[in-house]
Structure 1
Amino acid sequence: MSFYSTLNDRQKSIIDFAKKEKTFQTGDVFPVIEKEFGVLRLTVVRDLSFLEKNNILEKHGKGRSISYNISRQYLTLEKIDVDKYFSRPFSDREAKSSFNEEIFYILNNGLFSEDEIERLEKINKKYINTSNKLTKDSPVILRKEWERLIIELSWKSSEIEGNTYTLLETEALIREMRFAKGKDRAEAQMILNHKKTLDFILANKDYFKIINPDKIIKIHELLTEKIDIKRDFRDHPVGITGTIYRPLPRKKAIEDAMKKLAESLVEVANPFVKSFIILVMIAYIHPFEDGNKRTSRIIANAVLHAHDKSMLSYRNVDSVEYKKAMLLFYEQNNVSYMKEIFIQQFEFAVENYFSSGV
């Protein structure tokens, strides 16, 4: 949230105390704050009230039995020093090793602040204006801009998955069906599947206004066509490189989680938040044998497009940083770094597509 950076040192110390303690009362934290800042008990009480009202602390009980703990929402949004976090081997990081059932409680509009949503909407107005102008004045340029976005998204999304095609090789493949020399045909198929899937999304815009498990399976099928990957949800455990986190192991649990995800999305009004939740949660649930992250990226884009928001190509994101952002969510359920990437890439997309000659 935008006010986190405006917290005073005393309030930050209370937060640090709360992060170390599972639960605490005013009498536990007051001596610590009094010693450090020399303030009255009433001041600490007011600070606790402020932090509770702003969803940084959770309050329980009444009267003398009132206790506090750090809120799940704060831990989800708190900015983390990414370089410091990943400087330790994954076996040494204090990470969540299994699926967190409480994750669904934080999947709400509060993931983005009012300022962040206002910023994204303001940026999107440029996309609306420029794409509308091209639709009216130059449909040819509009079509070329969509081709460029599709090529660059197909390339980058595949690169994040380890695909070795360059951007120029991807362009030649999509435009001319020219296969790169010395490259595995499976890599070409991955890229072509992206192109086919994005064409489907553009041709079926309204289809993605509401997301359910069947639609997620449909997109995964398109993205993994002619690739040796099981189409349905998996029914066996799977590991993820570079983390101790292990997703849900069995199909029944996966089906339940995907159902809960769909139900959570119905309660989310804002398309940006809805898209972002899909981006992180499909990868987190990891319902398929393979292709989970690419499925999450493409469906997240489909939701944006369905609500007249610019799609993200991720063209200038570093693949390693993207993977770090996802690992941070897996291990800490923290969205701060992925949200930073999401907003940056949205700004990049609006500035770099559909604005030619406008």
Structure 2
Amino acid sequence: MHPIIALRQLDDLQKQIVTLLLRSPNGLAQKDVIAKLANSVSQPTISRAMAKLIENDIVEKTGETRSSLYKLSEAATWFAKPPHHRPEKPYEPHRIGGYIPNVTAWLPVEQRNRMTLAAQGVNQALDASTYSREIAQRFLIDLAWASSSLEGNTYSYLDTEVLLQYGQKATGHDLEEATMILNHKHAIDELIENVGRPVLDQKFASRIHAMLLRDLISPEDLGRVRGNSVRIQGSSYRPEGDAYQLSSDLGQLLWKAEQVEDPFEASFVLLTGLSYLQAFIDGNKRMGRLMSNVPLLWKGLPPISFIGVDRNAYLSGLILFYELGDPSLIAEAVVDGYVENSKNYAAAVATRRVPRSIEFRERTRIDHLVARIVDDQIDETDARSAALEFFADLEEEDREHLAQIVESIIAAISPENAYAWRVDPEKVEAYLNRGRRNGF
């Protein structure tokens, strides 16, 4: 357990020991600690408390036997003080400016290996675009609920599902909570609709921010890089307040993330970098969570839904990253959730055909073409050529793929499944009867 978390779970005796050691930066011998606390507690109890503090990396022991000294670890010394008593940590432009794609690594090797292992086999089942409608819907609900929950939203998963699928607001909850979840839906939809396109730029980031924060902040602040100072609750970190610097660094961060070849590192850079930069007046952690999925979705990998991510570890990990530049705790918290949920997405992928993103984007036109083939009684053998002509405005690879899709639809269409493409079943019956008469 990291000291930043362990410090919040101390009992009274452990707190007293930490306070004593905080006042003695050079350390204390155990006999000195016992002498200061002996009136209230026994020596064996103090020894057990000291051992527990050492186990949790709060206290370090130096020296041998009687000459041993006990002092707080570096992290414990820092976080044992309340935020307003810790030295202020201003924004460091070099943290983003000095990041070199494919050289610098924010995601620890151990956690990157865990993500790679968790995703094995799934990326072969997906093309480098997106998920089927069912899987996309699951991801949408998962991320909308989990991300909102990390913000303190009290909707249950079931309440979230009902809200997103049926528009029914849960009783006993503020309208703001429903708004937050619905905003997540619209922003996640935007991500899914743009899979495969180059989106890691400030224009797209501003669009996602505007969708995420609609009706939650002033309209003039939606998608706009802030130009005022903000404070981070529970932290001594002070983000940059200059709009020009923020805008420049936001552009840098997005560009650099796009250059990173490893999708897990790129995802982590977006997650932590957008949270650290705090480019917008509010919603920056939400931005980080959504945008962190871009490198994964674009590579056909399981997304990070943040289901199962421990809120305390996640928020503490961000503070550790903000103030000391240490990404270890936030990485562990996020990867723990990713490893567990990748199993669910792998199982879902294994049972479903997964379309390419072009099928999502051209869904309406596919329906129109299928209806036209049926209405105009175009022979099944001519369906492919009709599709190639219909999609002549697309790139050759996409046109060929859609031609195959339309050809397979026409080969399989029946009155029973006609509604899948919004075609009148009676027209399909007539089309099939004509085909039987003409021998196709």
Instruction: Identify the range of structure 1 (109-118 vs 320-329) with the bigger mean alpha-carbon deviation.
Output: 109-118
Q: Does 1:217 align with 2:206?
A: yes
* Residues 108 and 273 in structure 1, CA contact (< 8 A), matched pair in contact too: no
Higher relative contact order (CA 8 A, sep 6+): 1
**Which ranges in structure 1 are unaligned for 5 or more consecutive residues?**
1-79
Q: Look up the SS of the partner of 1:355 in the other structure.
A: helix
Instruction: Identify the range of structure 1 (277-286 vs 146-155) with the bigger mean alpha-carbon deviation.
Output: 146-155
Instruction: Identify the range of structure 1 (239-248 vs 181-190) with the bigger mean alpha-carbon deviation.
Output: 181-190
TM-fit CA distance, 1:284: 0.8
Q: 1:82 to 1:337 in 2, by over 3 A?
A: farther
In structure 2, C-alpha distance between the alignment counterparts of 1:286 and 1:185, rounded to whole Å: 25
Q: 1:111 to 1:289 in 2, by over 3 A?
A: closer
160, 170, 174: which one aligns with 2:150: 160
Q: Percent identity?
A: 27
163, 167, 181: which one aligns with 1:177: 167
TM-fit CA distance, 1:233: 0.8
1:121 aligned residue: 116
Q: Look up the SS of the partner of 2:89 in the other structure.
A: coil
Q: Does 1:204 align with 2:214?
A: no
In structure 1, C-alpha distance between the alignment counterparts of 2:269 and 2:124, rounded to whole Å: 27
TM-fit CA distance, 1:125: 2.4
In structure 2, C-alpha distance between the alignment counterparts of 1:274 and 1:216, rounded to whole Å: 15
In structure 2, C-alpha distance between the alignment counterparts of 1:155 and 1:91, rounded to whole Å: 32
In structure 2, C-alpha distance between the alignment counterparts of 1:245 and 1:116, rounded to whole Å: 25
* Residues 130 and 355 in structure 1, CA contact (< 8 A), matched pair in contact too: no
Q: Deviations over 1:193-245 (max 9, x none)?
A: 111111121121012x5511112111111111233241111111111100111
Q: 1:167 to 1:87 in 2, by over 3 A?
A: farther
* Residues 127 and 354 in structure 1, CA contact (< 8 A), matched pair in contact too: yes
Residue pairs, 1:1-358, within 5 angstroms: 86-93=79-86, 97-104=89-96, 105-106=98-99, 108-109=101-102, 110-112=105-107, 116-129=111-124, 142-207=132-197, 209=198, 211-229=200-218, 230-231=221-222, 232-356=224-348
Code of the residue aligned with 1:91 in structure 2: it is H
Q: 1:114 to 1:240 in 2, by over 3 A?
A: closer
**Which ranges in structure 2 are unaligned for 5 or more consecutive residues?**
1-72, 352-440
Q: Look up the SS of the partner of 2:260 in the other structure.
A: coil
TM-score when normalising by structure 1:
0.68
In structure 1, C-alpha distance between the alignment counterparts of 2:126 and 2:252, rounded to whole Å: 35
Structure with the greater alpha carbon radius of gyration: 2
In structure 1, C-alpha distance between the alignment counterparts of 2:109 and 2:329, rounded to whole Å: 18
TM-score when normalising by structure 2:
0.56
Q: Tell me the C-alpha RMSD between the 2 structures.
A: 2.7
Code of the residue aligned with 1:213 in structure 2: it is Q
In structure 2, C-alpha distance between the alignment counterparts of 1:83 and 1:159, rounded to whole Å: 28
How many matched pairs? 271
In structure 1, C-alpha distance between the alignment counterparts of 2:76 and 2:196, rounded to whole Å: 40
Q: 1:115 to 1:182 in 2, by over 3 A?
A: closer
* Residues 238 and 249 in structure 1, CA contact (< 8 A), matched pair in contact too: yes
* Residues 225 and 246 in structure 2, CA contact (< 8 A), matched pair in contact too: yes
TM-fit CA distance, 1:289: 0.8
In structure 2, C-alpha distance between the alignment counterparts of 1:315 and 1:152, rounded to whole Å: 6
Q: Deviations over 1:292-346 (max 9, x none)?
A: 1001110111221012121111111122221111111110111111111232222
